[in-house]
Amino acid sequence: MASCCASLYELPIVEQLLGGSFHPGGVALTRRLASAALISPDSKVLDVACGSGSSARVIAAEFGASVIGCDFSAFSLERAKSTAPAEASSSSPTFVRAAAERLPFESGSFDVAICECSVCLFESRDLVLEQIRRVLRPGGRIGISDFFLSRPAPENLTGLLSRVLCVGGAVSLADYRQSLTEAGFEFIRIREANQALLDMSRRVRHKMRSLTATGLAELPDAWGDPMSVLLDLEQFISSGGAGYMLAVGRRP
């Protein structure tokens, strides 16, 4: 599953559609998540499924934290390293290849762990959350942002393109809260950021129309009719069927 998801996000068309930040809200929502997780210059932070490292760089530069980003995709990590400053500094993040289900860090190594728009992609959400809890020190905090469902997604939103857009593996807010609780987190707070998701959906649809009209996009056959999927997704979000959330919790 990790290999499958990683390869999807390595497709050039995905970056063309989603831009440098592969999650709704971009840098602004990363800042909100970092603030909610109480990241400070004294924090040692793990960015799980960091992708090309945009969030890790923002947290290191703007919050002054020591940041390690990890991702299963060697391709994404090469991009993360290639976009790092030419001269490393104390505020520069470092990047490590690792599967979220097997984090190669000692227990109690981090003050904060974040995971943006990725929990819904993991085959074993509970195992990932348990691993994150393990590497946090007592009193450490988790911050996740992710797509959620308020009702079951219609069949036309369960294909490969929907997987890229995170709807394919999303669950309800109650399920996220239960998973965090069962993983051993407390003081869980969940806030909705639905407009960020709707904005991203519209932006992706406009880019898709532009790219296909000019012949610049090479779409995977398995995506089917992407414009239809994107329109259906917007309607589903607008009707309250899905949304985007920020969740934070504390390890006892």
pLDDT score, position 18: 58
Query: What integer best gives the mean pLDDT of the chain?
Result: 84
Enumerate the H helices of the chain as residue ranges. 2-9, 12-18, 26-36, 54-63, 74-82, 125-135, 160-164, 173-182, 194-214, 226-238
CA distance 140 to 89: 25
Res. 234: pLDDT tops 50: yes
pLDDT tens, residue by residue, 179-220: 999 999 999 999 999 888 888 777 777 777 776 666 545 655
pLDDT score, position 30: 96
- 3, 8, 9, 11: CA torsion to nearest 10: 130
Range of the domain at 6: 2-250
| Number of separate domains in the chain | 1
pLDDT tens, residue by residue, 148-157: 999 988 877 7
pLDDT score, position 15: 58
Look at 21 and 58; give whichever has higher pLDDT: 58
pLDDT tens, residue by residue, 26-54: 899 999 999 999 999 999 999 999 988 99
Give the domain CATH number at 102: 3.40.50.150
pLDDT tens, residue by residue, 121-162: 888 899 999 999 999 999 999 999 999 999 988 877 766 566
pLDDT score, position 198: 82
Helix (H, G, I), strand (E, B) or coil at 64: coil
The rounded percent of the chain whose pLDDT value lies above 90 is 51
